[in-house]
Amino acid sequence: MGKPIQQQLFTEYILSNKENYYRLAYSYVKNKDDALDIVHESICKAMISLNQLKKAEEIKPWFYRIVVNTSIDFIRKHKPIELVNEGTLEFYNPVEDTYQNLDLHKALDSLPPNYRSIIILRYFEDLKIKDIATILDENVNTVKTRLYSALKKLRLQLKD
């Protein structure tokens, strides 16, 4: 009887927070379809291992962790392959980017993945440091240190 209630709670939680998870996945892959695939795959992974969830209040950090790990796995599997040389790019006329703050997004993309994850979870998803530590399976002090290092790197990049 516990399992159907757990599934129902999980379903309600996912439905009420789906935009957050899509936005999180999109912040990693910068592609609508890939972000949707990541969210879908994350939900499938979560449904398979739903019995590992002990308490209802653990759903949020547990599922964030699944989405983050699935996003990172996706990036690893789909690393871009350079097919053109610099000379070819001179003739390429890209469509205007729609980011509101392109410099910030470029600076974020240049951070190592573990730093970028912390910045995204803290400032874009508005999570507490304790929750970020749980999601990333890191010590709270490690998360704080990486957060401050990441902010310092961002400040330096944005100054230039």
pLDDT in tens, 32-63: 999 999 999 999 999 898 888 888 788 888 89
Token duo for residue 113:
């993945």
Tell me, yes or no, whether 91 lies in a domain: no
Residue 155's pLDDT is 86
CB proximity list for 53: less than 8 A, separation 6 or greater? 6, 10, 59, 62
Given a contact cutoff of 8 angstroms between Cβ atoms, the answer to whether 53 and 62 are in contact is yes
Residue 124's pLDDT is 81
Domain extent, residue 113, equals: 100-160
Tell me, yes or no, whether 27 lies in a domain: yes
Residue 94's pLDDT is 45
CA atoms of 102 and 29, how far apart (whole Å) = 15
Residues 10 and 40 in one domain: yes
Token duo for residue 149:
């290092």
Give the chain's residues under pLDDT 70.
1-5, 79-102, 160
Task: Please give the tally of structural domains in the chain.
Answer: 2
Residues 62 and 15 in one domain: yes
CATH of residue 41's domain is 1.10.1740.10
Residues 65 and 110 in one domain: no
CB proximity list for 64: less than 8 A, separation 6 or greater? 21, 24, 121, 125, 127, 131, 135
Tell me, yes or no, whether 115 lies in a domain: yes
DSSP state of 95: P
Tell me, yes or no, whether 86 lies in a domain: no
Tell me, yes or no, whether 89 lies in a domain: no
Residue 58's pLDDT is 83
